[in-house]
Each structure stands twice: as structure tokens, then as C-alpha cells.
């Protein structure tokens, strides 16, 4: 792989109570006492488990991120959680623009606003983009990804690139067991990198693949020259399989 440090991120989505999250951390630390050299690891629990997971991973080397944050710094926004709140719970970053949130109505403009607030609050951001099956079949994958990316990166100062990661997650591959082939993922991610070059030094930008990544598929995916790691959903819920994916990247 390239100079960019591979990143393995586990997105737990709406799974695990605080007690279950602590239990996961105990299992993960037993399996992987420290993050191996040559890879970075981040765990994205639900808001309610951020603090327990941050505490339970102290001194381990993996860091913790939220799954989204509000586009407002504070105020009358019932049910929302701000970037500074997740920071105070130990999160040092956040996912943004996950397709499961876009499906609930989150627009490119909303994602961009969240990117701005998150970066201003000192968080790192993992910006998720991806095409639907219909868009892929219509041959507009590159255009869809470029538009999502351009909107989000407009909120990024090129000097903030070390706090920005992009995750390419084709919607049809999420939770379906239908992983993109390494060639498909490489082609899409190379296109994303080329599009990012309009805004910043794209050789420094880490771009992950996500969508049904498992210990069996991780190594081959990450061998592709432009794939800088993985955003793992289902397989991150089990400490053993998540540890195996981390090892595949190291
Ligand atoms: P799965 O790995 O379960 O397909 O989920 C991918 C994902 O959406 C991670 O953000």
C-alpha cells in the first residue's frame, strides 16, 4: 500500500447498550492488546456508548468517533447531539453523511453543514458517500460520487485534510453480503480521488471502502492501490472478526 496510513473503522450503527459496549471492549482488548503498527483503528458506537467505550479503550490506541453530529453548535434542537458534546464524551471524530442517514432525508447541504461544525469543534470527520444500485446501473456512479464529495469538501479548508477521511460505501453493498469486488471498489475510489484533487492534495486523502467487509474479503480489498482501509458495519460488532480485519490491514 501507499504512504497513507490505513484506517479501519467499525460502525456499530444502532447496536449495543453501554454494558454490551464495555463487554465488546474487554473482548477486543483481550484479542488485540494494542493497535498493531501500520494501521489506525476507530470505533463508532451509538451516542449512549461513547463515554463507556472511550473509557474502556483508554491506553489501547484505538480512538472513538460518533456516528453523526448536529449541524448546530447548541440551542433548541430537540433530540440532536452537538459536536462539542460528543467530544466531551471522548469522541475525537464523527462519521457524517452515512447513506442510512441520507435515506432519512439528510441532504448534501446538511452533510456539508455538519462537516463544518464538526471540524470547527476539533473533531475528525469520516465523510460517507455512495451510489444506489439504480444509479450504478444507469452508469452515473462517478457523477453521483463527485457531486456528494464536492458538496462535503466545500466545507473543508485544504489545511484540514489531516482531519478528513472519505468512506466510499456503495448502498447496494451495505448489509447485503454483496461486497464490491476489489476492482469495482478500486475504480470508484480512484475516481473519487481524482475528483477530490479539485479541492485538496488528494494524495494525502485517505479513502476507505465500506459495504459487507468481512475478515475474508478485507485483505484483498485493501491491497488495491487507492483503498486506504475499511468502514465495517456488521463484522465490527464481533471483536474477533473486527480484530481480524484490523490485522489484515496492518
Ligand atoms: P456492513 O459492513 O454491515 O455492510 O455495513 C457497512 C456500513 O454501512 C458501514 O458504515
Summarize pLDDT for 62-88 with one digit per residue, the tens: 999 999 999 999 999 999 999 999 999
Minimum CA distance residue for ligand 1 atom 2? 233
Instruction: Say which of 40, 51, 98, 106 is annotated catalytic.
Output: 98
Catalytic, 160? Answer no
User: What is the C-alpha to C-alpha distance for residues 165 and 199, in angstroms, rounded to an integer?
Assistant: 14
User: What is the C-alpha to C-alpha distance for residues 160 and 166, in angstroms, rounded to an integer?
Assistant: 13
Q: What is the mean pLDDT of the chain?
A: 97
- The full set of domains in the chain, from first to last, is 7-69+79-159+170-249 (3.20.20.70)
Indicate whether residue 170 lines ligand 1 (CB < 6 A): no
Model-level pTM greater than 0.85? Answer: yes
Strands 40-44 and 63-66: parallel
Of 12, 13, 46, the one to substitute when testing ligand 1's pocket (max ligand atoms within 8 A of C-beta) is 13
Residue-by-residue pLDDT tens, the chain, 250 positions:
468 999 999 999 999 999 999 999 999 999 999 999 999 999 999 999 999 999 999 999 999 999 999 999 999 999 999 999 999 999 999 999 999 999 999 999 999 999 999 999 999 999 999 999 999 999 999 999 999 999 999 999 999 999 999 999 999 999 999 999 999 999 999 999 999 999 999 999 999 999 999 999 999 999 999 999 999 999 999 999 999 999 999 9
User: 3-class SS at 11?
Assistant: strand
CB–CB of 77/45 below 8 Å? no
Q: Please identify, by atom number, the ligand 1 atom nearest to the C-alpha of residue 173.
A: 4
Q: Please identify, by atom number, the ligand 1 atom nearest to the C-alpha of residue 167.
A: 10
Catalytic, 15? Answer no
DSSP state of 171: G
Amino acid at each position: 500500500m501507499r504512504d497513507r496510513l490505513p484506517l479501519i473503522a467499525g460502525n456499530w450503527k444502532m447496536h449495543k447498550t453501554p454494558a454490551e459496549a464495555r463487554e465488546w471492549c474487554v473482548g477486543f482488548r483481550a484479542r488485540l492488546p494494542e493497535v498493531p503498527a501500520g494501521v489506525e483503528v476507530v470505533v463508532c458506537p451509538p451516542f449512549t456508548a461513547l463515554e463507556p467505550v472511550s473509557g474502556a479503550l483508554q491506553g489501547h490506541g484505538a480512538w472513538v468517533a460518533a456516528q453523526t453530529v448536529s449541524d448546530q453548535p447548541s440551542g433548541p434542537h430537540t433530540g440532536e447531539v452537538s459536536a462539542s458534546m460528543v467530544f466531551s464524551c471522548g469522541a475525537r471524530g464523527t462519521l457524517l453523511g452515512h447513506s442510512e442517514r441520507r435515506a432519512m432525508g439528510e441532504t448534501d447541504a446538511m452533510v456539508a453543514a455538519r462537516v463544518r461544525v464538526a471540524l470547527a469543534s476539533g473533531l475528525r470527520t469520516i465523510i460517507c458517500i455512495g451510489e444506489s444500485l439504480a444509479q450504478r446501473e444507469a452508469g452515473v456512479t462517478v457523477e453521483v460520487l463527485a457531486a456528494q464529495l464536492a458538496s462535503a469538501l466545500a466545507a473543508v479548508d485544504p489545511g484540514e485534510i489531516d482531519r478528513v477521511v472519505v468512506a466510499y460505501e456503495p448502498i447496494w453493498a451495505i448489509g447485503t453480503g454483496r461486497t464490491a469486488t476489489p476492482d469495482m471498489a478500486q475504480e470508484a475510489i480512484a475516481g473519487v480521488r481524482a475528483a477530490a484533487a479539485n479541492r485538496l492534495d488528494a494524495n494525502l486523502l485517505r479513502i476507505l471502502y465500506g459495504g459487507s467487509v468481512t475478515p475474508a474479503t478485507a485483505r484483498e480489498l485493501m491491497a488495491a492501490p487507492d483503498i486506504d482501509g475499511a468502514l465495517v458495519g456488521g463484522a465490527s460488532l464481533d471483536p474477533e472478526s473486527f480484530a481480524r480485519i484490523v490485522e489484515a490491514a496492518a
